[in-house]
Chains A and B, each alone.
Chain A
Amino acid sequence: MTLESLRRDIDRIDARILSLLDERLEKGLLTRRHKSGSLDSGREAEVLGRVSARSRCLADEAFTTGLYRRIMDESKAIQDRRLSLIGFQGMHGAYGEAAARAWAPEAATMPFGEFSQVFDAVLAGDVDYGIVPVENTLGGVVGQVNSILVTTELRVAGAVDMAVSHCLLAPPGADHRELRTVYSHGQALSQCRRFIERNGLEGVDWFDTAGAARMIAEERPKGAAAIASRFAAELYGLEIIKDGIQDSPNNRTRFFVLAKEARQATNGPADGDHGRAGDDGRAGDHGKAGDHGRAGDDGRAGDKCSAVFFADDKAGALFAVLEVFAEAGINLTRIESVPTEPGDYAIFIDFAGSDRDEAVIKALDRAGGLSRGFRLLGCYAERRL
């Protein structure tokens, strides 16, 4: 054991401690639905009791309980800030989280393992919003998300259309000439295939782009780099060897921001906040969340709408619905079909306009009569990054 190798181990442990600390504070934020204020003295005594019971620690008891008091104070202080919470799929540093931060810079972002968990958390009120990718210019429609969208009760409260710029990341001080392997999600690896080949690297499939960045930061394997977002580089303290390494410059992902009610579009922000506050009994808790919603659309009702419906299995059924929009002069910006049952398809449409426009209201009414299960997912402002 050299001093250098011991210090490397210590650096790795520190990186893990910081990640775990963040995770602990996040769990604290998620408890808000289940309690009426940030302080729960019974629970605090229980945690401190457990900490002091572990007396065989190298650290002395006064130190560990003091440390835990500080941690719990910080946790309460963060809970009292009444941040709005946005769920995303993946680990910290994921592209979805970058989109969430752009949409609401003040909000706290909460990681979930699966897309369905993001939907469930919004529905249960654990988080205020969920952000999910719906389509990518290179990869096409995100199937898992769109099949949940067919049936979800959630509304679309916003959208973010974001350029995906992959970066090659290495631990600070690493020599780029020594890089041999590059870890990332299979899709990111394939989007950077030519770059990887040109530089004689070997791609290694990893479950997640941000997860690869985190692993590189925590494990520091020799000669290894990750492909992930610029945001992941900042989060994990990695150096960007090169940004924009994707083979195609037209790599964009479109995200939907989901909420329980499309408040700003239909109910108005005040109603929305009130309804939400009732969920956990803390009136006015989510004033900030409402602000984000409004900030997202500059106080307007939005400029884009999304809807889903089923077309009857007969000649011209789909055409009849689309014709309504054509006749009303409404610009359809996306049409996507998602198979639900054998032979049955849910049709997603996006169009320019707001459900406060007379033409849109009439068209929605007519389209509803010509299809099965016509549902407006939301009218919102779409932000392009």
Chain B
Amino acid sequence: MKDLKLTGVRPDGARTVVEVGGIRIGDGFTVIAGPCAVESEDQLLRTAVAIKEAGATMLRGGAFKPRTSPYAFQGLGLKGLKILDKARRETGLPIVTEVIDTRDVSWVGEYADVLQIGARNMQNFSLLREAGKSGRPILLKRGMYSTLEEWLNCAEYILAEGNPDVILCERGIRSFETYTRNTLDLSIVPSVKATSHLPIIVDPSHGTGVLGLIEPMSLAAVAAGADGLEIEVHIDPPTALSDKAQQLSPEAFKRLMRKIATMRRTMDELAAEDGR
């Protein structure tokens, strides 16, 4: 792949570690969890406490929602950001939230620790440039029609503005399959490791859109060598205002976290065998 001056593998093989509020993404394993959207202070704070207890290290939650329909819930905006800020103060979990408007980048940066650029905005180049100037780490989701090369070029836009802290996130691509919401492309994880030094995490919630597939795909992502997971968890999924079908309950998330820990130990053993 040409012209990946800043995102391509480094000659010395060193990998980027993004540091956020005491957490190192790209070193060990990071689990980002939280609701699709911030709906209320009560909903977010209760979810935040539950995911922290289960072992998640970062909190996600959308304040600005890019919805398929203009009539669907668009998010709480600034009020949502203030609620996220409160959740951070109460739980200590760093915040990841999506930014969809270039005019919002600096303001979201005032409240969030990591700015997420969603799949639909992956190639919004003016947004990428603003994100590059924000001084905050960026979680860059893979566009649903993007090749690895296109995706890494988008990361290149951010790095070219002087922001070295980009985390890639695979969230499924469009295929002819309709059973799942998207087709989770786990082969991209080792492919990113072979072509770039940036950390990569996997979002099995959007990647499958099917509750029962989140657990097997999370474990498969660990096996594929991902640096972390981003999982949607809602305190009461049936009442969620968006992504009802793919948000885990805190109990289900807790069970999943235990299995992830077992899977990671297995992967460490395999790595140790390779080393022998």
Contact = CB atoms under 8 A, between A and B. Distances in A.
Interface string B47-75: 00000000000000000000000000000
B110 A177 contact: no
A242 B110 contact: yes
Interface in B104-139: 104, 106-107, 109-111, 135
B103 interface: yes
Instruction: Output the residue of B78, B104, B111 with the most chain A CB within 10 A.
Output: B78
Contact of A200 (B106, B110, B135): B106
Contacts of A198: 106, 109-110, 135
Contacts of B101: 177
Interface residues of B, number: 10
A241 B104 CA distance: 13
A199 interface: yes
A199 B109 CA distance: 9
Contact size range, A: under 10
The prevalent SS among residues of A at the interface is mixed
B104 A177 contact: yes
A199 B105 CA distance: 9
B78 A241 contact: yes
A120 B103 CA distance: 50
Interface in A182-239: 195, 198-200
Contacts of B78: 176, 241
The prevalent SS among residues of B at the interface is helix
A245 B85 CA distance: 13
Contacts of B107: 176-177, 199, 241-242
Contacts of B104: 177
Contacts of B106: 198-200
Nearest to A199: B106
B131 to A, nearest CB: 14
B103 A177 contact: yes
A53 B107 CA distance: 55
A49 B104 CA distance: 57
Contacts of B109: 198
Interface string A230-274: 000000000001100100000000000000000000000000000
Contacts of A245: 110
Contacts of A176: 78, 107
A267 to B, nearest CB: 45
B58 to A, nearest CB: 22
A226 B110 CA distance: 17
A200 B101 CA distance: 15
A241 B110 CA distance: 10
Nearest to B78: A176
Nearest to A179: B107
Nearest to A242: B110
A176 B111 CA distance: 13
A242 B111 CA distance: 9
Contacts of B135: 198
Interface in B144-188: none
Instruction: Output the residue of A200, A241, A245 with the most chain B CB within 10 A.
Output: A241
Interface string A17-61: 000000000000000000000000000000000000000000000
B79 to A, nearest CB: 10
A200 B110 CA distance: 13
B103 A199 contact: no
Nearest to A168: B110
Interface of A: 176-177, 195, 198-200, 241-242, 245
20 contacts: A176-B78, A176-B107, A177-B101, A177-B103, A177-B104, A177-B107, A195-B110, A198-B106, A198-B109, A198-B110, A198-B135, A199-B106, A199-B110, A200-B106, A241-B78, A241-B107, A242-B107, A242-B110, A242-B111, A245-B110
Rank and list the top 3 A-B pairs by shortest CB-CB distance, nearest first: A177-B103, A199-B106, A198-B106
Given A176-B78, A199-B107, A245-B110, 10 more contacts: A177-B107, A195-B110, A198-B106, A198-B109, A198-B110, A198-B135, A241-B78, A241-B107, A242-B110, A242-B111
